[in-house]
Chain A
Amino acid sequence: MKTCHKMGIQTVAVHSDVDSSAVHVKMADEAVCVGPAPTSKSYLNMDAIMDAIRVTGAQAVHPGYGFLSENKEFAKRLAAEGVAFIGPDTHAIMAMGDKIESKLIAKAANVNTIPGYDGVVKTAEEAVKIAQDIGYPVMIKASAGGGGKGMRIAWNAEETREGFRFSSQEAASSFGDDRLLIEKFIDNPRHIEIQVLADKHGNALWLNERECSIQRRNQKVVEEAPSTFLDPVTRRAMGEQAVQLAKAVQYSSAGTVEFLVDSKKNFYFLEMNTRLQVEHPITECITGLDLVEQMIRVAKGYQLQHKQDDIPINGWAIESRVYAEDPYKSFGLPSIGRLSKYQEPLNLSNVRVDSGIQEGSDISIYYDPMISKLVTYGATRAEALARMEDALDNYVIRGVTHNIPLLREIITHPRFISGDISTNFLPEVYPDGFKGHQLDVGTRRELLASAAALYITAQLRSQKVLGDLRVSSSPVECSHWELCVQLEDGSHSVEVTKSGNVYTVEVDGGKVEVSGQWNLASPLLPLTINGTHRTLQCLSRDASGRILLQYLGTSFKVRVLSKLAAEFNSYMPEKVPEDTSSILRSPMPGTVVAVSVKPGDPVAEGQEICVIEAMKMQNSLTAVKQAKVKSVHCKPGETVGEGDLLVELE
């Protein structure tokens, strides 16, 4: 829409009930409500959207990234009404939208493809048979889908059956089409895609690659352009094949050809996305093109302005997808909530944030949990990465759990920095799941020192009662404190000396100097720790010394007590938390799809107990021990919140 405003085009936004105050609605010149929250009744409701088009007299439709952007029916109906679809022609969507068909076309166009079964799989048993023919591991995915939805990897027959069931359900609920296909799963691959741009006159360009290997559950998390892995020869080969494919389907508009690249730089065609991708801004950064503008031009029938030789690689761009999800649970389970505070790091240079939300927005269970795309740009990769670190540290999100801890760990991980990545990066680097930043001696000291200094700042402020003559004029302001700071790993004795705004903190045999502006109301704490600039965030602070500090992306629970309080605290009894092994709680908010047990049933360890759907993803919850079901507290169709009791075991 920013591009449209720039080009002098008036805009109309469509929205559902719950999104009526969303950013896109506010930015648009006009807005039309197309139905209630569930996507099938609003953003996927073609009748309502066609009505909206007629009412507003719109001449063209930009379908965005998801929903109807690759729906051939929709494109057809638009064509019938004489409304331009800002995207490729119907036949191209049709050809590429179906993964089975697209593979055949790609093969015909001499594009490298992955071995697999070129047909629709009808039953779970058939799926097992095909999987055995191709050889495990195999990937089961929705024929109509994209974006990782309805996609499962299976390593054996049992997983194939389970995967078949989930994928077909997810495919049905997300795309209204439960056809599945199976192909060979390439182990240790990289996901690299080529951006193409074609006009209606048979011209097509490749706009370099995007490295999208960092994924979780087949959804991209961190992307960059260019890739550290490609040499100019491979890049050219991939680009040319992508253009061949585009030309083969008489493609017009912007599109993306996805490839899997193995360690020997062999690449296989994966699929073609006939829409603008979420990660398009990084391509814009390094090429200097506005893709939305180009799409509108192409839709209008103009010829491309550029030639292949005009497409540069200028600098390096990195995109982090900031999600409302808990990274500590399988690298990200959806979380919901209200953004009580939201502040984008736009004060930093060369940072771009594309988001559809704002302070006060509700992250509901109905849509994708994406908060924003955070893009940083630099002349070199190191510069772009350093900016990304800074941007993540300065990004204020309160009210929902978000994945910034994970993002920050990824971009600072030695393997990522060296470019040694694959789509298995996350499970390889964190085999036991993501646990947040691991402190070393130095960073632990910094954290403890910052917490101690913040605590003292708050304590001193409590004594600043204005205009009250009855406050004791204590002879000298205290400037030395002995504290005890507790972290998860135990207690640390800390000595703090203050002079001006500078705290000198002695901790664990080391000295740390912390200084800053110490604004207790600001969510950001820009500090200078031992001469290095670091932005911490104070997430919460309470009267009993508990401070939740976001440091290096991860939030740490710290408790600061005076020496005396710490000594007394040792007398306080530990309160025993409830035994959770016999209680199954919902790990996230969502809808109960199925309950597989009833009271009295015996369950084995790992047996599925129920299935929760959230953000269009189905999650199977299993028993953590062998037991008998005591009681069931949920039923299919029910909406549950995070932490709600679902099933009790004996």
Chain B
Amino acid sequence: GKPDPSRSRPSNLVRVPSLLLAVRAHPHLLLAHISVFHFLAHCHPRTRKAMMAALSVARSSCRLINGLRTSFRSLGQVKHGAVAVAVPPTNLQRDCRWYSVSHLSVKERIDRKRTAALVGGGQKRIDAQHKKGKLTARERVELLLDPESFVESDMFVEHRCSDFGMEQDGNKFPGDSVVTGRGRINGRLVYVFSQDFTVFGGSLSGAHAQKICKIMDQAMTVGAPVIGLNDSGGARIQEGVESLAGYADIFLRNVMASGVVPQISLIMGPCAGGAVYSPALTDFTFMVKDTSYLFITGPDVVKSVTNEDVTQEELGGAKTHTTVSGVAHHAFENDVEALLNMREFFNFLPLSNQDPAPMRECHDCSDRLVHSLDTIVPFETTKAYDMLDIIQTIVDESDFFEIMPSYAKNIVVGFARMNGRTVGIVGNQPKVASGCLDINSSVKGARFVRFCDAFNIPIITFVDVPGFLPGTAQEYGGIIRHGAKLLYAFAEATVPKITIITRKAYGGAYDVMSSKHLRGDVNYAWPTAEVAVMGAKGAVQIIFRGKESQAEAEAEYVEKFANPFPAAVRGFVDDIIEPSTTRKRICRDLEVLASKKQINPWKKHANIPL
């Protein structure tokens, strides 16, 4: 992923003169720009240690910065060490005095720019945004973050396009079409960008991308999550390839940050074309019902190419992506609900891969017995029950944040807490398709397991799986390689892994579901557990082929295998526990496993069967 310098340089060369012009006109604006370069130059050695690929980007920028810096020095006034935001204004004024016509007018200009930045595309467009049932970029940030915690950066950045009349004053908006900065959610650091639909429809300019990249880089250096609030019409066509380059710059950072800091995308408006790949690269994509869309090409293009008639909502609305495509992980009713839920969701996440899973004050007793679990598994092995009932009664305060609740419902994944500590929960859902593993559920489970593993979140797995789903649809769709993903994810995970077999654990699916053989730390079976190659009926047909008394043979098989003993006598489950004690056991185990250290062999990166 080394960017072609021949691509970035010419565009940078264009930038330099215009920047210098800006500097002459507004010395304070200079600060903002220089602090970007200054920051990049400084972060450079640290980044090198962390990753090689990001380096090349930084390096190419640095070359440019050094060039710029010399040109500033030649002016003899601004020392680069003095250009931090924290520099007292008196100093600045003295240093910059001779660029300004008057001290007052600069202040006025600053105020004017700030005021302009705060209203984005103007009151009319804000009203239009509200009329659509959407909040503005700034309102969203305000609601997402703790009161008064938002620290904005690049409020003065403007686009640099001079074609198609874009250079005119009326077409420049301080801050351009995105609001960026950092803030806190319940006191915990987070970086945020929020695309502003009121400015050029939120379209992505070079400056817009640069602002996003800046906060992403900062998030990486300090180790804090990035939340993106997407509401953008797409690339800024007037800027041409500069806009495309901007996307690529963001994509690269998404990839570099993957597994380093949690990245969350909240789609709150359109997000179309190449732009969709940024959310797709992040860890979680949430959508707002009825007002957000994600698609590669819109309904018009679809019509002209494939002659299909489809609405925006059907093609890429929240319902489509949360139930059919599996692109989005959750959908919320409206902007307010989405943002409030995002705050709640954020509480579960560690700040980076160097931080432990957060532990919140817990009011639920860790040794609480859950009596209702003793009767939850029905006596008939073919009868369904709701795995969510088990999960909700075991976790702290029944607080379970389910991921992808409407997609591949035969597996349940999501976040919860045990004695205050965040855990990831994976469970087969007997209520849907008997809880079997198929293509979609394997992929859903695998991605979730890998997220937990990347961010030090212990995984608790509840197993009731009759096996992989048979059939041509599954085989042709590649269940073999997709099923392998879940196997792979569980096997490579080094976080604490606790497994509870509630009922069936049949065939290959038994192995897959965080079994002892895949380095499960603690594996429990409930008395109702049945660990075997297959169910009694199928097994008997093979073992006793042609034998008369099938029923008798079945009974023998059930007696032998439809119980937890075969696994327990071999040590493949550590204990057979009373279901009511499950919460207590898990909480105790997690305490012990908090210091678990396990390292996989060195590799450049693993090769998961994609």
Contact = CB atoms under 8 A, between A and B. Distances in A.
A472 B184 CA distance: 8
Nearest to B130: A571
Question: Which of the listed residues A338, A358, A361, A543 has the most CB atoms from chain B within 10 Å of its own CB?
Answer: A543
B359 A340 contact: no
B340 A565 contact: yes
Contact-size category for A: 35 or more
A342 B371 CA distance: 10
Interface stretch (B7-15, B330-338, B527-535): B330-338
A466 interface: yes
Interface string A445-464: 00000000000000001111
B358 A464 contact: no
Contact of A474 (B134, B187, B393): B187
A544 B188 contact: no
Contacts of B365: 521
B364 interface: yes
A21 B528 CA distance: 15
A472 B363 contact: no
A467 interface: yes
Question: Which of the listed residues B135, B143, B351 has the most CB atoms from chain A within 10 Å of its own CB?
Answer: B143
A568 B137 CA distance: 12
A471 B372 contact: no
Contacts of A472: 149, 184, 187-189
Nearest to B371: A359
Contacts of A339: 372
A300 interface: no
A568 B335 contact: yes
Interface string B421-455: 00000000000000000000000000000000000
B476 interface: no
A345 B500 CA distance: 33
B340 A470 contact: no
A470 B351 contact: yes
A413 B119 CA distance: 56
B333 to A, nearest CB: 7
Nearest to B335: A572
A361 B375 contact: yes
A575 interface: yes
Contacts of B347: 462
Given A463-B187, A472-B184, A544 B375 contact: no
Nearest to B332: A544
A470 B188 contact: yes
Question: Which of the listed residues B189, B333, B361, B374 has the most CB atoms from chain A within 10 Å of its own CB?
Answer: B361
Interface string B109-139: 0000000000000000000001001110001
A465 B187 contact: yes
A338 B133 CA distance: 39
A16 to B, nearest CB: 12
A466 B371 contact: no
A466 B417 CA distance: 13
B142 interface: yes
Contacts of B475: none
B167 interface: no
Nearest to B127: A571
A360 B374 contact: yes
Interface string A330-369: 0000000011111000000000000000111100000000
A341 B397 CA distance: 12
Given A520-B397, A568-B139, A568-B335, A464 B371 contact: no
B355 interface: yes
A340 B392 contact: yes
Contact of A466 (B130, B337, B361, B379): B361
A138 B336 CA distance: 58
Majority SS at the chain B contact face: mixed
Nearest to B134: A571
Interface in B540-575: none
B152 interface: no
A589 interface: no
Nearest to B185: A462
A522 interface: yes
A54 B337 CA distance: 64
A568 B339 CA distance: 11
B154 interface: no
Contacts of A569: 336
Contacts of B333: 572, 575
A211 B359 CA distance: 55
Interface string A557-582: 00001001100110111010000000
A543 B340 contact: yes
Interface string B576-587: 000000000000
Nearest to B393: A340
B591 interface: no
A17 B383 CA distance: 13
Interface string B14-52: 000000000000000000000000000000000000000
A423 to B, nearest CB: 37
B423 to A, nearest CB: 15
Contact of B375 (A17, A360, A561, A565): A360
A520 B397 CA distance: 7
A568 B186 CA distance: 20
Contacts of A543: 337, 340-341, 343-345
B358 A468 contact: yes
Contacts of B337: 543-544
A91 to B, nearest CB: 42
B420 interface: yes
Contacts of B363: 461, 519-522
Nearest to A469: B355
A358 B358 CA distance: 35
A358 B374 CA distance: 11
Contacts of B139: 568
A405 interface: no
A464 B361 contact: yes
Interface in B174-189: 184, 186-189
B360 A462 contact: yes
B373 interface: yes
Contacts of A573: 133, 290, 334
B231 interface: no
Given A463-B186, A571-B135, A341 B359 contact: no
B367 interface: no
A20 interface: yes
B389 interface: yes
25 contacts: A20-B379, A338-B376, A338-B389, A341-B372, A461-B363, A462-B360, A463-B187, A464-B360, A464-B361, A466-B359, A466-B361, A467-B359, A468-B358, A470-B189, A471-B188, A520-B363, A521-B396, A543-B341, A544-B337, A544-B340, A564-B142, A564-B143, A568-B135, A568-B139, A575-B290
Given A359-B372, A521-B396, 18 more contacts: A21-B375, A338-B389, A340-B389, A360-B374, A360-B376, A461-B361, A462-B344, A468-B359, A470-B351, A521-B362, A521-B363, A543-B340, A544-B337, A545-B340, A564-B147, A571-B133, A573-B290, A575-B333
Lowest 7 A-B CB distances belong to which pairs? A360-B372, A543-B344, A521-B364, A464-B361, A573-B133, A521-B363, A572-B334
